[in-house]
Structure 1
């Protein structure tokens, strides 16, 4: 049996070496930056669950990274699973000082930050599927390579989760948000949980070293978060609304939004409104906004039901 210290060695898997926590902390946890702490665990149930439970005791900017998650989850508690060290699975603690009704933009902000960092660092074109998926192209087909999960945390906010983009708007009290991000980096074809999944490696990434990739994503997230806060959470003033729309693969397509109670809305996705909702132009001429907190699935119109793959972040 291989001893634990050998399994954790950087030489135990040359294709998938562990992250270097000391190096990451030196690069990211500095005075004047957003990031206040950074911990890397070999295995954990869910980084979101753990960080949310400790939100009141932690400073804003705490980062928790897992080499493996045994109970990773996404939106609507869907399962997120991947082999150890095959991706980036982490959560960050944010305590925004902007109107709470604008907190629903945080998952979209995380999508923009992650997509731009991945494109720059790994050389992979990344698109956004509203509301919380990151897409790459594998063999000419769009595949899901990542997802984002946002949940309210801290104090009274824990009484009601806000894992979906809209739900934070219904809360009156300030608190914290835990953003979970899951990104498949070196996942191989035989390891895909579903045929619709993908990874940066399968998409032809020029680099799959997770240390610089994590640094790039966190720095991009800090930049966008500061711009959004400086604009008091205004998505138009901060440039977030325009940038998300420019990278959103959902816009311009005919889709079916499946809602609770076996209801659905079908139409062309024409815009994102100021609340981050997807606006569908229906056949009867109505422009119907759909919020992320209301939606069960978003599929191309005419596509039958079925698994979309692991959904969400951490």
Structure 2
């Protein structure tokens, strides 16, 4: 494990047994929660487990990740026990076209847990970031593996300002959260994700029928604002984010009328464009 100047009193380890006692129940989504001191990538580890037939609801938590990745292959690191870095395995029995909602659903679960435990106002940046103000608190990465989906989350909890990887990042500690205790935070996030996932799958992945789309829009920091979307193929779309469609794609009304009407974006790097003063 990477050396750290902080002791267990500053950054206590997570308790695997306590998490299992609190979150595993008959008929519940979560089936096994494993906590490891260190691994390269929880997403990669669960992807291998998925190919070997691991059950839905498997959760892997690492006290530190040495080769964590975000969207577009970006690296993601944090000092040991300063963050929540975990992945979970889902086998959703809903149309694949609606799987785009999974990272959005997970992000909404993070917002719920952060607001409940940390008592700070977190919001969502499409498709996979959790923000406090305009600074990134957490990221979500969903990957399809055969008939399974692995969802990974990295949430900055106890990082000090000098430990933040980039100037645009933040943590619950830096934001002055009411609590930076990772165990109740992880429990709150996983409970919120379970509730949302149960409702979404019961509705066949219909984000309107289960209330997911209106809940997401209410927590969105993207919809309603001007954005610049860096699209695949080095293309750029500048316009106003108007909503999210039935598949979880971002809807953008281009500034340039020659680009046609509203466009649905399924992949891209989104930058919030502040109005000029």
TM-score, normalised via structure 1 length: 0.82
SS state at 1:57 partner: coil
Measured in 2, the distance between the counterparts of 1:12 and 1:213 equals: 20
- After superposition, the CA RMSD in angstroms is 1.8
Decide whether aligned partners of structure 1 residues 302 and 224 sit closer, same or farther in structure 2, where only a CA change above 3 A counts.
closer
Work out which structure has the larger RCO, using CA pairs closer than 8 Å and 6 or more positions apart in sequence: 1
Q: CA deviation at 1:214?
A: 0.6
- Which runs of 5 or more structure 2 residues have no equivalent in the other structure? none
Residue-by-residue CA offset, 1:273-314 (whole Å, 9 max, x unaligned): 11111111112162111112xx1x2113489xxxxxxxxxxx
Kindly indicate whether residue 89 of structure 2 is the aligned counterpart of residue 93 of structure 1.
Answer: yes
Aligned position for 1:36:
31
Kindly indicate whether residue 122 of structure 2 is the aligned counterpart of residue 126 of structure 1.
Answer: yes
SS state at 2:99 partner: helix
Measured in 2, the distance between the counterparts of 1:113 and 1:233 equals: 16
Aligned position for 1:53:
48
Q: CA deviation at 1:201?
A: 1.1
Alignment of 1:138-287 (within 5 A): 142-153=134-145, 157=146, 175-283=147-255, 284=257, 286-287=261-262
> May I ask how many residue pairs the two structures share in their alignment?
269
Measured in 1, the distance between the counterparts of 2:30 and 2:23 equals: 6
Measured in 1, the distance between the counterparts of 2:253 and 2:20 equals: 47
TM-score, normalised via structure 2 length: 0.93
Report runs of 4+ in structure 1 exceeding 2 Å deviation: 300-303
Measured in 2, the distance between the counterparts of 1:12 and 1:83 equals: 12
Match of 1:20 among 15, 21, 29: 15
Measured in 1, the distance between the counterparts of 2:274 and 2:212 equals: 31
Q: CA deviation at 1:30?
A: 2.1
- The answer to whether the Cα contact below 8 Å between 2:100 and 2:249 also exists between their aligned partners in 1 is no
Aligned position for 1:66:
62
- Which runs of 5 or more structure 1 residues have no equivalent in the other structure? 158-174, 304-314
